[in-house]
Amino acid sequence: MLCSICQSIDFYAANCPPYPESGGAKHQPTSQALALSANNGCELCGLIWSKVPNNKRPSELSIQGGVILCNLWNWYDGPVEEYRGSATIIFRDEHSQWSVILCISAEEGSELAVANIISGRIAQPSANSQACFDLLAEWVNNCLSSHISSCPHDATASLPTRVLDVGTDVDSKQVRLLETKGLEGVWVALSHCWGRTARYVTETKTLQQRTNGIALSELPKTFLDAVIITQRLGFRYLWIDSLCILQDSNQDWLVESRQMQDYYSKSVLTIASDLASGDHESFLDNERSPIIPLKIPFAARDGTSSSHVYISNEVKTQGPDSAQTPLSVRGWTLQEDVLSPRTLHYTSTELVFECQRSRFAETDVTPQGYTDSDAMSSIKRFFLKPESGFQDPLVLKYPHFTKYYQPLQRWYRLFEVYCTRLLTFESDRLAAIAGLAKEIQRQTTLSYKAGIWLENIHHGLLWAVNGRGERPDKYRAPSWSWAALNMNFYWGISTNPDFQLYMQSLWSSDTNDGGVAEILGCDVQTVNGDPFGEVISGQLRLRGFVMPLNEWRGTTSPCINTFWRPVAYHQCPVYREGTSAPGGFRRPTAADQLVLDFDVTPEEVEDSDTDEGDDSDVVADEESNEDEVEVALSKYPSNIILLQHQVMMEVN
Q: What Rg do the C-alpha atoms of the chain give, in angstroms?
A: 30
**Distant-in-sequence, close-in-space partners of 82: CB < 8 Å, separation ≥ 6:** 366, 367, 369
**Using an 8 Å Cβ cutoff, are 487 and 472 in contact?**
no
Query: Is-contact 50 35, C-beta < 8 A?
Result: no
pLDDT at residue 20 tops 50: yes
Give residue 650's pLDDT: 52
User: How many Å apart are CA 479 and CA 452, to the nearest integer?
Assistant: 12
SS3 category, 346? strand
Q: What is the pLDDT of residue 73?
A: 72
Per-residue confidence (pLDDT) for residue 81, from 0 to 100 = 40
DSSP line for 326-360: TTTTBSHHHHHHHH-SEEEEE-SS-EEEEESSEEE
Amino acid at position 265, single letter = S
Q: DSSP assignment, residue 160? A: P
A 10 A CB-CB count for 249 gives 15
Per-residue pLDDT tens over the stretch 518-554: 788 899 999 888 899 889 999 888 776 654 444 444 4
**In the structure, what pLDDT confidence band is assigned to residue 167 with cuts at 50, 70 and 90?**
very high
Coil, strand or helix at 142: helix
Listed range (146-155, 268-277, 395-404) with the worst mean pLDDT: 395-404
Domain boundaries, the chain: 6-114, 162-287+318-372, 394-651
Instruction: Return the SS3 of 585.
Output: strand
Q: What mean pLDDT is predicted for residues 331-342?
A: 90
Q: Report yes or no: 649 and 461 within 8 Å, Cβ to Cβ.
A: no
Which of 146-150, 308-312, 451-455, 513-517 bottoms out in mean pLDDT, i.e. has the lowest? 513-517
d(CA 223, CA 226): 5
Are the C-beta atoms of 367 and 354 separated by less than 8 Å?
no
Report the alpha-carbon distance of residue 89 to residue 91 in Å, rounded: 7
What is the average per-residue pLDDT within 32-38?
92
307: Cβ contacts below 8 Å, ≥ 6 apart: 106, 107, 110, 111, 112, 298, 300
- Indicate if the alpha-carbon torsion angle 315, 319, 320, 323 is positive or negative: negative
Residue ranges of E strands in 366-414: 368-369
Report, as an integer, the average pLDDT of 361-386.
57
The runs of H, that is alpha helices, within 158-266 are 207-212, 221-232, 241-244, 250-257, 260-265
Give the residue, 23 or 522, on which the prediction is more confident: 522
User: Of the ranges 345-354, 496-505, 553-562, 624-633, which one carries the lowest mean pLDDT score?
Assistant: 624-633
Q: What is the DSSP letter of 422?
A: B
DSSP-derived letter for residue 66 is: P
